[in-house]
Structure 1
C-alpha cells in the first residue's frame, strides 16, 4: 500500500431543479466540488489528464485513468477514496497508482510502439478487473482499442474490435484522429459493454459545427467482442462562439448506463477565445434506446434512412451555479447515499494545461417524488 495524500477545498451545496428526462422523471442536485492540485506529483507520477472514473463497490474505492500518452508519466490509473454524503463533498484521498501494461509486460511507450490514449475506464462488476479504452491515434496509424487489465494494471485480454472502427490511412473511413472512442460503460447485468464514439466516423458525415450537429455511434458489445447492437446518437451543434480564426467543437465525452432502456450521455463543447484559452459548455442527456434503429449493419450513415436515439436534456452545466466548469470527460455512479438515492460523480481532464483544473463534481439523483 502506498502512502495516501489527502486534500480538499470548500464546496457549495445547491439544488438544481432539472427538466425531467427519464421514466423516473429524474432530477440532479449538486452536492459539491473538489479539485486536485495542478500537476500534483503522487508516487513519482504527475496527476492530470483524468479522462475516466469508476466506482468499485467491493472496496469502496474509485479508479481514475489518465489520458497522458506517457509523456508526463507512463499510462496509468489511480485508486482513490472520495469522502461525500448527501450534504457535503469533503475530500479526495489518492491511495495508489498503477501502470497499465502491454501484453509483453512492458509499460506503454510515449512515441513508439502502441501509444495508449486512454479515454475511459470501468471496473468489471464480475471480478473487479479493469477495462479501459484508448482512442488510438490517426496521426500514428493506431486504431482505438478496448482492453482488460488485472487490478494492478497487468494485461489480460483485448476486446475484438469491428473493422468499422479500425484506422484508415487514407482517412476515408473509420474514426477521425482524436475524435474516436470516448465512452465506456457496463450494462446493468455486467454481461455486455457499451462503447461511445466522440464524433462521426468519416463515412457517417461531417463533425459538428456552429451551424449543424453531427452523429456518432453507440455500440453494445458482448464480453466476447460480438456486436449486439449499434445506434446513431445525434450530437448537438457546437455550443458557444469561438473567437475569429479559433477552434470550436462538440462531441460525446462519456456514456453511462442508467438502466436497461436508458443511457446517460455527456456532451462537451470546447471553444477558444482570442488568446487560445478554452471555455467548456457541458450538457448531460438522458437517452432512450427504445424505438431507435439498430444501425450495426450499416457501413455508413450518410444517405440512408434510420431512426436515431432520442435524448432529453438532464442538465446544462452552464446553469449549474459553478464558478468554473472544465473539460468534463469521466462519469460514474457512486455508492448509494444514506437516504437511498444514487450518487453520480464527474471528473475533468485538465490536459495538463496551466489554465485548466482537475475538478470532481458529486451529485444526488432525485426521483420524481422528491
Structure 2
C-alpha cells in the first residue's frame, strides 16, 4: 500500500488511543528576543510584513516571507541567519543575507494588491526531504466593502531558490474563493503551511461561509486543515476548533479578526498552531496550541460543517499563552523550529508581522522546548 494512502487511512480511522503517544510539547525556557527596526532597508527593499519563517537544517539558512503586496516592493522572501548558541541557548541576533522576488511560472513578479493573480504570501516552508521551498498564498476575493477586488485563488505553491514557481498543489473545490457567500471568506484563505515526510498540510485562517459564522464572545468556529500526500493529492481535511473571543470588541460596532496564523509539524500527526485574535480596544491575543489529527473526522467530502451530521474536530491542548508574556502582544504569524541545543532541547522561534506599521514591530522570540520530536 502506498505510504501516503496508509497515512490518510490511519489519521481518519484510528482512535486516539491506537497510535503511539509521545511526550507533549512544552516550553522549557525563554532564550531571547531580537527585532528588525521599522522600515529597515535591505538591498533596495522595505523589510516588514514578515508573515512566515523557516530554517534549512542542513545549512542553517533561515527564510522569511513578506506579505507586502507591492505596497513597497513585489512579493518576496529574505534569507538570513539567527544567532542561537547551541551550548547556552542564547539568542543573540538576526541578520539578513539576501532577498528574492517571488515570480510566476513565466518568471514575472506577481501583480500587486487589487489586481488579478495578486499574491498574498503568508507562510514559507523549506522541505528538507526534497530541498524545495513551499509557500502559502492566502489569495483574495471581493466582498461588500471591497466589491472590485478580483478573485485570486488561495494556493500552496512550490518554488526554486530563485523564487520562480515550479508547481502548485491542487485546490479542493470546497476551498475555492468565489464572488458569492460560498467558500472561504476574504482574508480567511491559507494562512499556515506545514511539511512532514509523508504529507503537506495547510490551514485556512477561519471558517468558510458554509461552515458557520466567525468567532464571537459566545462561540468559536471551525477552520479547515487540508492534508495532501507526497504525490500532491488531497487525502483528508479536518476541522480545527477556533476559540471564542476572550473579550468583545470595544466599541462593539468594530469587528475582531480571529483565526489560525500558522501551523508547524511536530510529527506526522501532531502540529503546533498559533491562534491569533485582533480585538479592537484590547489589541492582540495569541495562544500556542498542540493539535492532534488522530481520531478526527475526515470532512473533505462535507460542504458544510454548520449543519448535518456530527463530526469530531482535531484535539487541541494549550502549550503557552503568549498574552501573558512580554506585553504588549504583537501580531504573531510565524512559527519554526531552530537548531537543537546541547541540552537536547529544541528551539522554537515565533515571529511577528509588523503590518508595516510604526505602532507594531518585527520581532523574533526564541524558546527552548521539550517533547518536540
For normalisation by structure 1, the TM-score amounts to 0.88
The answer for the alignment partner of 1:56 in structure 2 is 56
After superposition, the C-alpha distances for 1:310-351 in whole angstroms (9 at most, x for unaligned) are 11100001222x143200011011111122211111111111
Q: Which moved more, 1:298-307 or 1:350-359?
A: 298-307
Aligned to 1:19: none
Distance 1:89 1:240 in 2: 34
Q: CA deviation at 1:224?
A: 3.2
Once residues 252 and 121 of structure 1 are traced to their aligned partners in structure 2, the CA distance between those partners, rounded to angstroms, is 15
Residue 285 of structure 1 pairs with residue 289 of structure 2: yes
Matched, 1:185 2:213: no
For 2:294 and 2:154, locate their aligned partners in 1 and report how far apart those are by CA, in whole Å: 28
What is the match of residue 37 of structure 1? 37
3-state DSSP of counterpart to 1:259:
coil
- 2:261 matched to 1:256? no
The 10-residue stretch of structure 1 (339-348 or 243-252) with the greater mean CA deviation from structure 2: 243-252
Residue 136 of structure 2 is aligned to residue 126 of structure 1: no
Identify which of 225, 238, 254 aligns with 2:245. Answer: 238
State how 1:76-115 maps to structure 2 within 5 Å. 76-85=76-85, 86-110=88-112, 111-115=114-118
- 2:216–2:248 Cα contact (<8 Å) kept: no
Contact 2:119 2:152 in 1 (8 A): no
Aligned residue in 2 for 1:163: 173
Instruction: Report what 1:266 is aligned to.
Output: 274
Separation in 2 of the partners of 1:230 and 1:367?
25
Equivalent pairs, count: 339
* Residue 145, structure 1, aligned to residue 144, structure 2: no
Cα deviation, 1:242-289, whole Å, max 9, x if unaligned, reads 21132323211111111122111110011122xxxx711100111122
Q: Distance in 1 between matches of 2:310 and 2:89?
A: 48
* Partner SS for 1:203: helix
Counterparts of 1:360 and 1:241, CA distance in 2: 28
Task: Report if aligned partners of 1:159, 1:223 keep a CA contact under 8 Å in 2.
Answer: no
When the two chains are superposed, the root-mean-square deviation of aligned CA atoms in Å is: 1.6
TM-fit CA distance, 1:135? 0.7
| Cα distance between partner residues in 1 of 2:116 and 2:132 | 24
Q: Which residue of 1 aligns with 2:356?
A: 352
Do 2:336 and 2:348's aligned partners in 1 also have CA atoms closer than 8 Å?
Answer: yes
Could you give the per-residue CA deviations for residues 205-255 of structure 1, whole angstroms, max 9, x where no partner exists?
A: 111112210011111112333111111110001234421132323211111
| 1:300 and 2:299 correspond | no
Instruction: Kindly state the Cα deviation for residue 55 of structure 1 after the two structures are TM-superposed.
Output: 0.6
Q: CA deviation at 1:150?
A: 0.3
For the residues of structure 2 that align with 1:142 and 1:26, how far apart are their CA atoms?
37
Match runs of 1:66-85 below 5 Å: 66-85=66-85
What is aligned with 1:16? none
TM-score (norm 2): 0.87
Secondary structure at 1:177's aligned position in 2?
coil
Partner of 2:5: none
- The match for 2:15 is none
**Structure 1 gaps, min length 5:** 1-21
SS in 2 for 1:113: coil
Aligned to 1:135: 138
